[in-house]
Structure 1
Amino acid sequence: MDLTGKVAVVTGAGRGLGLAYVTALAAAGAAVVVNDVDEQAAAAAVKTVTEAGGRAVAEAGPVGTAEVADRLVARAVDEFGRLDVLVTNAGILRDRVLWKMSDEDFDDVIRVHLRGTFTCARAAAVRMREQGEGGTIVLVASPAGQRGNFGQTNYAAAKAGIAAMARTWSMELGRAGITVNAIVPVAATAMTETIPAFAPYIEAWKNGAPLPDWIRHDEGFGTPEDCAAVVPFLASEAARDVTGQCIGIGGDRLALWSHPQEVAADFAAGGWTPEAIAERWAQGAGREPQTVGIAPPKPPQDAEAAR
């Protein structure tokens, strides 16, 4: 993928998945504005890019406000003359079960993930439409937003909203030649290591052990770098017809998530009564109840194969 001449903004890009996206975009030839709330992390990411021969500048700040979003777009234009790609990766966790979650826990996550995605995408869309040459907006969703996850009311709600934004904005921005997709990465990061089922494998990986082949293949769980390839692809001419999609990537797996849709239906002439629903639910519309939650990894029974 040759992205020479293109300019990207990546939020939450000082480490983890964001840094992997920055590195992949720069390696493909794009100039990148690296955003992170941690100024030192953003500067370190820029150093990584420039030492490899790429072009990047840092613009620190917490996403969520229109002021920060406008500043990120302005920095791209001031430094590199334009904006072609936005990746909204910034995020935080404030995990609590519903009855223990505070207003602040909820609001903080919604502000960074959902409002941060909205304000940054709005600012980018304004600039891209003014340029009149199309563009690429890549939102970052999560399996938690697709399936729900215990203890993540705020995070799952925000990520579900981000997937809905991708579908909506792909329609609104299509005439301007701007594609909008959500990616659903699954990788060993500071966020996923808080999930008990994945924690032992991430800890071993951090200590130098490779992730097992089965977890890369069967679970689609890998390193941040494994998830990065989809971003240059979506920013390239090869993906001009790809929009409004939720694309999963992780380990050895690339996948397409479905949009919410009816899976079963039943009909009653003249409408339904509560009693009729109760009588026919199990054999009618409710005959295939949907599962919820992110399934824990299932190591192979063969201990040798699990290595």
Structure 2
Amino acid sequence: MSAGLLDGRVAVVTGGGRGLGRAYVLALAGAGAAVVVNDVDADAAAETVALVTEAGARAVAVVAPVGPTATADLLVETAVERFGRLDIMVTNAGVLRDRVLWKTEDDDFDRVVETHLRGTFSCARAAAARMREQGEGGRIIVIGSPAGQFGSFGQTVYAAVKAGIVSFARTWSLELARAGITVNAVIPTAMTAMTGTIPIYEELYARFLEGEPLPQQVRRAHALGGPEDVAPLVVWLASERSGDVTGQAIGLGGDKLTLYAHPAELMAEYADGGWSVEAIEDAWMTRFAASAQPSGATFPPLD
């Protein structure tokens, strides 16, 4: 049971108006945290706050786009002014502009980078400054994606920023360790409006919205459940129980909990005096090629 696990703690969740963000807000509040709910959709943010307050917990909405430093500062200031402190920052806000490389326009690139990469950076920076000032540690939880782990056809910019966000977590876990601030990346997979646009899931998503349970094959092999299935990982990483966990990329979706590896050297060969073109080709063909890494995630077909 997570009730009371976060009593006295204060969290900010960006993109908390709907979907996974709303699930994170409700779970954090259910564990005892007061929550600043950020979203660009005022109605969605207000609905999430209402759900929290109706359950007897505390929340406040801040309607603003992430990316600008002013928004990050406002979120931290609101947490401190309304609830007295900041302990948890969850950088969930994101946008999609799915296009292959040659069809990706400058505006698509800038919007995705501004929201995901700069938004994560500016909010984490503001949170780290406040947590270091408080001197009591803290939790920064950034949100990645399988696209950032494996690559994803048609998601040129999204895959890049999600990979960058995981690198943020690894670097910040080193920089903030002395302050007792942990930084981890959550890699969520869930049946959401975005997932429902993927052709193989369209029919399944429609049935899911009607209340039909997802088959075990989908919950396990495809790691897809509801947004609420991902939320326990965020609560655990936000709690004192995970105090020795930092710099990790951890996935959760449906019934599947995953620890992702850091990039590592798979093989190495040496040539005295350096390498020629021919020697590189020979080494690749005879020794390296068998270990070449695939791109993209693969899933078994749905029955």
Partner of 2:297: 294
Distance 2:91 2:174 in 1: 19
Partner of 2:138: 135
Contact 1:95 1:151 in 2 (8 A): yes
Partner of 2:73: 70
Instruction: Name the amino acid aligned to 2:30.
Output: A
Partner of 1:53: 56
Contact 2:221 2:299 in 1 (8 A): no
Sequence identity percentage: 60
Partner of 1:223: 226
Partner of 2:168: 165
* Structure 2: gaps spanning 5 or more residues: none
Distance 2:255 2:299 in 1: 18
Q: 1:208, CA displacement in angstroms?
A: 2.2
Instruction: Name the amino acid aligned to 1:62.
Output: P
Distance 1:129 1:276 in 2: 52
Distance 2:8 2:125 in 1: 22
Instruction: Name the amino acid aligned to 2:286.
Output: Q
Distance 2:223 2:190 in 1: 8
Partner of 1:284: 287
Partner of 1:267: 270
Distance 2:294 2:171 in 1: 26
Distance 1:189 1:23 in 2: 16
Within 5 Å, give how 1:1-80 maps onto structure 2. 1=2, 2-80=5-83
Partner of 1:202: 205
Partner of 1:302: none
TM-score scaled by structure 1? 0.96
Q: Tell me the number of residue pairs that the alignment of Structure 1 and Structure 2 aligns.
A: 300
Distance 2:296 2:202 in 1: 17
Contact 1:197 1:296 in 2 (8 A): no
SS at 1:249 equivalent: strand
Within 5 Å, give how 1:162-201 maps onto structure 2. 162-201=165-204
**248-257 vs 290-299, greater mean Cα deviation:** 290-299
Question: Compared with structure 1, are the counterparts of its residues 174 and 122 closer, same or farther at alpha carbon in structure 2 (3 Å cutoff)?
Answer: same
Distance 2:72 2:61 in 1: 14
CA offsets 1:8-42 (integer angstroms, 9 cap, x no match): 00000000000000000000000000000101110
Distance 2:277 2:198 in 1: 40
SS at 1:32 equivalent: strand
Question: Compared with structure 1, are the counterparts of its residues 297 and 208 closer, same or farther at alpha carbon in structure 2 (3 Å cutoff)?
Answer: farther
Instruction: Name the amino acid aligned to 1:85.
Output: I
Distance 1:264 1:193 in 2: 39
Distance 1:285 1:99 in 2: 30
* Partner of residue 256 from structure 2, selected from 232, 253, 256: 253
Distance 1:148 1:53 in 2: 42
**256-265 vs 116-125, greater mean Cα deviation:** 256-265
Contact 1:64 1:119 in 2 (8 A): yes
Q: Are residue 94 (structure 1) and residue 111 (structure 2) matched? A: no
SS at 2:89 equivalent: strand
Q: 1:197, CA displacement in angstroms?
A: 2.8
Instruction: Name the amino acid aligned to 1:142.
Output: S
SS at 1:69 equivalent: helix
Q: 1:297, CA displacement in angstroms?
A: 4.3
Contact 2:222 2:299 in 1 (8 A): no
TM-score scaled by structure 2? 0.97
Distance 1:267 1:284 in 2: 12
* Partner of residue 241 from structure 1, selected from 225, 240, 244: 244
* Structure 1: gaps spanning 5 or more residues: 300-305
CA offsets 1:256-292 (integer angstroms, 9 cap, x no match): 0001111122222221111111122122233211011
Partner of 1:115: 118
Instruction: Name the amino acid aligned to 1:243.
Output: T
